[in-house]
Amino acid sequence: MGGYVLNEIRDALANLDMDKVLELVRKAINQGFKPLDIINSMAEGMKVVGERFEGGEYFISDLIASAEIFKEAMNILEPLIMKEREAIKPIGKVVIGTVEGDIHDIGKNLVAMMLRINGFEVIDLGIDVSPQKFVEAVKQYNPDIIGMSALLTSTMINMRKVIEALEKEGLINKVKIIVGGAPITEEFAKKIGADAYGENAIIAVDICKKLIEELRSKR
Ligand code: B1M
């Protein structure tokens, strides 16, 4: 099967075998697989890590190890992806961050990278970003879009707090809001008053392009 090496990458990441993941990533590149397909199989591997953690087979140290492997592999893949980036005029400005109480940043970083490749200017506020920090960033950078990521069911509600803070400061109509992360759903996004939900990094780019069009037609 053509995607065999991609399955091997998923399994090697799930088994936390750094050397094997890096070797297979290089092999897949040489075989002509697209960096984005390789990243997808790594994301599948991360899901398995999460399941094994939930099942008591893996511990926090294993979650940390999986994140390190993912980041090492991204060091190989990111330059290849960025090479495809065209020198174009920025199409919009996005302020992005992982919400307060949450330090998961791999998915958020992927979204930021994909947005940059597609011509967006991205200001990354990092992890554990408070509502106040989002508000200050809107005042400072005047973005078109606010992107929020959450990976914990206990922190997803902090997305609503950011929206409330923006409402309170009278800034909510200046920006469009997109939210994403493993526990987030379309329904949750609607419920908290976000403009959009991005299921993955690629979909998030398309949505941000649409949000920019909506904003421009309003202005
Ligand atoms: Co944590 N963790 N973790 N963890 N961790 C999860 C999320 C968990 C689901 C694992 C599990 O039990 N199955 C679980 C949450 C359960 C829940 O809330 N119901 C969990 C837990 C419990 C915890 C701790 C509480 C563990 C503890 O301490 N007891 C703790 C919390 C720390 C904190 O944040 N306060 C914790 C810590 C960690 C590490 C720090 C060790 C590490 C993260 C390191 C890092 O990010 N630098 C870690 C990891 C690695 C995971 C799993 C295994 C993998 C996450 C990941 O990187 N996936 C994760 C399991 C899982 O998600 N199923 C788990 C790969 C990444 C590409 O996917 O982030 O989903 P994802 O991003 C996707 C989409 O969601 C989307 O696009 C991305 C790419 O397509 N997307 C967006 C994401 N953000 C978006 C924003 C958008 C649009 C799309 O618009 C703006």
- The model's pLDDT over 10-33, given as tens digits with 9 standing for 90+, comes to 999 999 999 999 999 999 999 999
* CATH 3.40.50.620, domain 92-218, yes or no: no
Q: Name the residue with tokens 């400072």.
A: 140
Report how far ligand 1's centroid is from the alpha carbon of 176 (Å). 24
Please give the Cα distance from 199 to 180 (Å, whole number).
6
**Do the beta carbons of residue 144 and residue 176 sit within 8 Å?**
yes
Distances in Å between the Cα of 126 and the Cα atoms of 23, 97, 122, 129 are 30, 5, 11, 7
Find out whether the beta carbon of 201 lies less than 6 Å from any atom of ligand 1.
Answer: yes
**CATH among 2.40.40.20, 1.10.1240.10, 3.40.50.300, 3.50.50.60 for 4-84:** 1.10.1240.10
The amino acid occupying position 89 is K
> pLDDT tens for residues 172-200?
999 999 999 999 999 999 999 999 999 99
The answer to whether the beta carbons of residues 205 and 114 sit under 8 Å apart is yes
pTM above the 0.85 mark?
Answer: yes
Domain ranges across the chain: 4-84, 92-218
- Rounded Cα gap, residues 62 and 82, in angstroms: 29
Q: Which of 105, 111, 151 to mutate to test the pocket of ligand 1 (most atoms within 8 A of CB)?
A: 151
> 40 CB less than 6 Å from ligand 1?
no
Q: How far is the CA of 178 from the centre of ligand 1 (A)?
A: 18
CB 207 less than 6 A from any atom of ligand 1 = no
Atom 83, ligand 1: residue with shortest CA distance:
181
CB of 105 closer than 6 A to ligand 1? yes
